[in-house]
Amino acid sequence: MTAARSLPSIDREQIRARFALSYVPERHRRIIAGQEVIVHCHHYNSRIQRTVEGVADIDGKGIVRRASEQAFARQIAYAIEETDDEATRWVVAEELFAELGYGRLDLSKANEGVVTQSAGHFVEGWGVAFGDDRKPVCTLAEGFIQAAFIAIEGQEVEARETECMHCGADACSFTVEKTGAAAEVPAAPERIEGVSMQEHVELAESNIDDQAIINAVVGLAIRGTEEGLIPAFGVYLANTPADVYNGIAIEFVEEMSKLGRMESATRLLNEAGESCAMNTFRGIMDSPEWEALIAPMLQDQSDTLFALVALSNAFGWGNWGVTDHEPGESLEMVSFNGYEALGFLESRGKASEAQCWMLQGVSAGMMELVYGEGSFADRFGTFFVEETDCIAKGNSVCVFSVEEA
Amino acid sequence: MTRRERVRACIHPETFKYFVARDDVLDTWSRLSRAYGEPVVADGFGVVEIRHPRFFIRATRMLNPITVIRRRHCTDADVQAIHDLLGFRPEDCAA
């Protein structure tokens, strides 16, 4: 690993050691630097961002920036050690950004108002999914830079991307303006754990060895390379704090509800999940990882679906499983600790409606991917999902019922 | 003759699996190693991989087929070069 550009004496490998993954097997949770992180790929991440930023009447970039700033300020602060001098603290922020898979930031001149990025997860993601949509796309990085100033300097700043590789620049550039206000690391919501018990639910059986898949994923180093990207399963992965996804989804729905468009908001979030299932999982199913370990387990068509569920559990989406399945026709899934339901409960309290927009979309999308025919466009919307129970509503588990539309 | 199949929903839209003739697999990997660096075996799934600024070159431990993922700065000349190493001639295949 290269030495710090401005600080050659700092050992970045030692800094990276602070971000060692802690996996909690009974809850299928991945924890890095004190934050539960969720593994998603460039397809989902760029799509959810585009969904939120694409609505004209709300400040979508502001929503993404705020969610990032809040969660990453906590994570950076957690990773900083008391004995770190200021220069080391900036390196901690740079390396955390890279470790999580977002790319390579240069924060060495952040205090002079200039930040650059030489590789970016969202640059890659938009390049694949939305190549013709030419505008700066590194909003999450803006939030991360703001978070770094809160955690390191105790200052509020506004970071804005002025040039982006997605638009053809050689590197992404950000300006940083100090507002003059002090800022504290925001407190985390009070965490809720173990609201449900798996032993009361009987899961359906398949030919898939779930534990072998989970062990392989947990054994895989899902951490950024020197350039801060995580190429694996034929896609670019990133470890994103659950609080970032929840902050984005909850505020997006709230802002849209103020405009009387809650139904549109939730449908858009569902579609992002549905697209995630079809694109991310399609990519994974074509990867050497799938071919090496999972393909030999497949005996029935439905085994593919069970394998995808095992993978998603290992990615930290929560502990969910299939309770009933008629191949090609219907699917019932139960989630014991989905991050969306818990996140809503933690930050907003009990909900009147189900809140697992991503898992809803993924449930339908998996059926469309495994049993559908034709192009993705042909398959889209061919299965309908209803989340009949949700932990956020006070139910003991979340239940997803999927049927042909 | 090497043939190829398109891989969908990947990092780059022009991603393919190249199926190399069985008796040429080891020589192909030798050529790829000399050109792009030594392959490493990743933990977890045991995928064999060369990471290069222009390509990700990946396979199971069986080493065949070979998935070639083009990266952002990959040029037509880069593609031609790796096709030569893989023994792939687009004009021979419909894919």
Q: What is the pLDDT of residues B5-61, one digit of tens each?
A: 999 878 898 999 999 999 999 999 999 999 999 999 988 899 999 999 999 999 999
Q: What is the mean pLDDT of chain A?
A: 93
Q: Does A218 touch chain B if contact means CB atoms closer than 8 Å?
A: yes
CATH class of domain segment(s) A12-182: alpha beta
pLDDT in tens, A178-219: 999 999 999 999 998 765 566 678 999 999 999 999 999 988
| CATH number assigned to the domain covering A198-230+261-404 | 3.30.1380
pLDDT of residue A344: 97
Count of pairs with CB atoms under 8 A, one residue in A, one in B: 78
Question: Residue A356 is which amino acid?
Answer: C
pLDDT of residue A400: 98
pLDDT of residue A197: 61
Which residues of A are less than 8 Å from B43 in CB distance?
219-221
The answer to whether the bond into A189 is cis (omega within 30° of 0) is: no
Q: Does A372 touch chain B if contact means CB atoms closer than 8 Å?
A: no
Helix (H) or strand (E) segment spanning residue A237:
strand A235-241
- Give the mean model confidence (pLDDT) for residues A329-334: 97
Mutation to test the A interface, candidates B40, B43, B45, B66, most A Cβ within 10 Å = B45
pLDDT in tens, A354-383: 999 999 999 999 999 999 999 888 999 999
Cross-chain CB nearest to B58 (options A123, A280, A288): A288
Helix (H) or strand (E) segment spanning residue A270:
helix A262-285
pLDDT surpassing 60 at residue A323:
yes
Q: Does A175 touch chain B if contact means CB atoms closer than 8 Å?
A: no
pLDDT in tens, A132-166: 778 999 999 999 999 999 999 999 999 999 999 99
CATH 3.30.1380.20 domain locations along chain A = 12-182
Closest alpha carbon within chain A to B59:
A288
When pLDDT is cut at 50, 70 and 90, the band that residue A2 belongs to is: very low
Grouping H, G, I as helix, E, B as strand and the rest as coil, residue A235 is strand
pLDDT in tens, B16-32: 999 999 999 999 999 99
State the DSSP code for A173.
E
Sheet holding A230-232, edge to edge: A22-24, A29-32, A35-41, A235-241, A230-232
Interface of B with A in 24-83 (CB under 8 A): 42-48, 51, 56, 58-61, 67, 69, 72
pLDDT of residue A1: 41
Answer yes or no: do A235 and B10 touch at CB < 8 A.
Answer: yes
